[in-house]
C-alpha cells in the first residue's frame, strides 16, 4: 500500500462528501477520545461510514486500548480499519488480530524529542500484529498525541520508515504547503492531515486546502516513484 492520502477529523456528511470529491482515499473519524471532545456522535459517524464507497475507507481514530472493546466498537460503526492512538500493549494487539483478523490496524508512534529508540522498540514488538504504523506529534503543553497541528522531527519518522517491516503513515502538522517536502524527506507509504486542512475560523475543512493537499501529495508520491497502490 503506497501513496495513500487520509484526511482526518470528519465532522458531518457534507465534510465527508468534500473529502471524497477532492480525491482523498481514507476518511478518519475521531471517536472515544479521553477528553470526550468528539466532533460528531457515534450514530452520525456510523451513518456516514455506511455510505462510503468501496474505493474509499472510513477509519476510526481512537484512544481505546482493549481488544474486545475495539472489536465491538468497530462492529457497531461498521468500519474495517482502526487507528489506535492510546497505549495499547503488544498483548492486546495480538488478541485483536486473533479475534478480528480482517480488521486493518494502524498503531500510532508518538514522536517526541530524541525518542527514536523507544519507538523502534515499539515497532519491533508490535509489527507482527499491525498493518501500518502512523507517526504523529506530541504537544507537551496539553499532552495531546494527535490532531495537534504540530510538526515533529521528520528524521525520526524517516528512520522508522527505514526500519519498519510495515508501511508507515506520516501525520502531524501537515498541510498543503509542507506535504510534498514531508513525503520527499520521510518517504512514507501514506500521509494524513487534520488541523492543517481546516479554515481557522469555522474549524471546517477548507475545500481548496484539501484539494491542494491531495494534489501536492499525489505529485510528491509520483516523484518518489511509488504512485498510488491502495
Ligand atoms: O483527528 C483527531 O481529532 C484526533 C484525535 C485524537 C488523536 C488523533 C487524532 N487525529 C490524528 O492526528 C493526526 C494529525 O493531526 P494534525 O494534522 O496535526 O491536526 C490526524 O491526521 C489524525 O490521524
Instruction: Look up the pTM and report it.
Output: 0.96
Distance, CA of 194 to CA of 148 (rounded, Å): 9
Q: Which residues pair with 136 in a beta bridge?
A: 110
Distance, CA of 30 to CA of 49 (rounded, Å): 13
pLDDT at 34: 82
In which band, very low, low, confident or very high, does the pLDDT at 229 lie, cut at 50, 70 and 90?
A: low
Residue 110 or 144, more confident: 110
Query: Taking a C-beta distance cutoff of 8 angstroms, is the pair 160, 123 a contact?
Result: yes
pLDDT digits (tens, 9 = 90+) for 59-86: 999 999 999 999 999 999 999 999 999 9
Ligand 1 mutation pick, 4, 7, 8, max ligand atoms within 8 A of CB: 8
Ligand 1 mutation pick, 133, 147, 173, max ligand atoms within 8 A of CB: 147
For the chain, give every domain's residue range.
4-224
Torsion of CA 219, 221, 223, 228, to 10 degrees: -90
ipTM above 0.85, yes or no: yes
The DSSP result for 49-77, as a single string, is HHT--TTSEEEEEE----HHHHHHHHHHH
Distance, CA of 106 to CA of 207 (rounded, Å): 26
Average pLDDT score over the chain: 95
Torsion of CA 225, 167, 195, 176, to 10 degrees: -10
SS3 43: helix
Residue 159 has pLDDT above 80, yes or no: yes
Residue 172 has pLDDT above 80, yes or no: yes
Helix H segments across the chain? Answer: 13-21, 42-50, 67-77, 90-99, 116-126, 154-163, 179-186, 207-224
pLDDT at 38: 84
Let me know the angle formed at the C-alpha of 214 by 213 and 219, rounded to the nearest 5 degrees.
Answer: 100
Q: What separation in Å is there between the alpha carbon of 62 and the centre of ligand 1?
A: 10
Proportion of the chain above pLDDT 70, given as a percent = 97
Query: Mean pLDDT across the stretch 154-162?
Result: 98
Ligand 1 mutation pick, 61, 152, 173, 213, max ligand atoms within 8 A of CB: 61
- The number of C-alpha atoms within 13 Å of 86 and in the hemisphere containing its C-beta is 20
Residue 23 or 229, more confident: 23
pLDDT digits (tens, 9 = 90+) for 183-219: 999 999 999 999 999 999 999 999 999 999 999 999 9
Nearest-atom index, ligand 1, CA of 196:
17
Q: What separation in Å is there between the alpha carbon of 175 and the centre of ligand 1?
A: 12
Pairing of strands 132-137, 57-62: unpaired
The total number of residues written for the chain in this structure: 230
Nearest-atom index, ligand 1, CA of 6:
21
Write out the CATH class of domain 4-224.
Answer: alpha beta
pLDDT digits (tens, 9 = 90+) for 13-47: 999 999 999 999 999 999 999 877 788 999 999 99
pLDDT at 2: 81
Q: What separation in Å is there between the alpha carbon of 61 and the centre of ligand 1?
A: 8
Ligand 1: list residues with CB < 6 Å.
8-9, 28, 30, 33, 61, 83, 85, 136-137, 146-149, 171-174, 192-196
Residue 33, C-alpha cell as written in the block: 477520545
Which range, of 16-20, 131-135, 167-171, 224-228, averages the lowest pLDDT? 224-228
Amino acid at each position: 500500500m503506497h501513496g495513500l492520502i487520509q484526511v482526518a477529523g470528519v465532522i458531518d456528511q457534507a465534510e465527508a462528501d468534500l473529502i471524497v470529491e477532492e480525491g482523498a482515499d481514507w476518511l478518519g473519524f475521531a471517536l472515544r477520545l479521553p477528553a470526550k471532545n468528539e466532533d460528531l456522535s457515534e450514530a452520525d459517524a456510523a451513518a456516514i461510514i455506511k455510505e462510503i464507497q468501496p474505493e474509499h475507507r472510513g477509519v476510526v481514530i481512537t484512544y481505546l486500548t482493549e481488544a474486545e472493546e475495539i472489536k465491538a466498537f468497530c462492529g457497531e460503526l461498521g468500519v474495517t480499519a482502526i487507528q489506535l492512538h492510546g497505549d495499547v500493549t503488544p498483548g492486546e494487539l495480538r488478541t485483536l488480530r486473533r479475534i478480528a483478523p480482517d480488521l486493518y490496524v494502524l498503531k500510532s508512534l508518538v514522536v517526541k524529542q530524541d525518542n527514536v529508540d523507544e519507538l523502534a522498540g515499539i515497532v519491533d514488538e508490535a509489527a507482527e500484529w499491525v498493518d501500518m504504523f502512523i507517526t504523529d506529534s506530541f504537544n507537551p503543553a496539553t499532552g495531546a498525541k494527535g490532531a495537534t497541528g504540530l510538526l515533529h522531527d521528520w528524521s525520526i519518522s524517516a528512520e522508522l520508515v527505514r526500519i519498519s517491516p510495515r508501511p508507515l503513515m506520516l501525520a502531524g502538522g501537515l498541510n498543503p504547503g509542507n506535504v510534498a517536502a514531508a513525503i520527499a524527506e520521510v518517504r512514507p507509504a501514506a500521509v494524513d492531515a487534520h488541523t492543517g486542512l481546516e479554515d481557522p475560523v469555522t474549524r471546517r475543512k477548507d475545500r481548496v486546502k484539501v484539494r491542494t493537499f491531495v494534489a501536492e501529495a499525489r505529485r510528491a508520491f509520483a516523484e518518489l516513484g511509488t504512485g498510488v497502490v491502495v
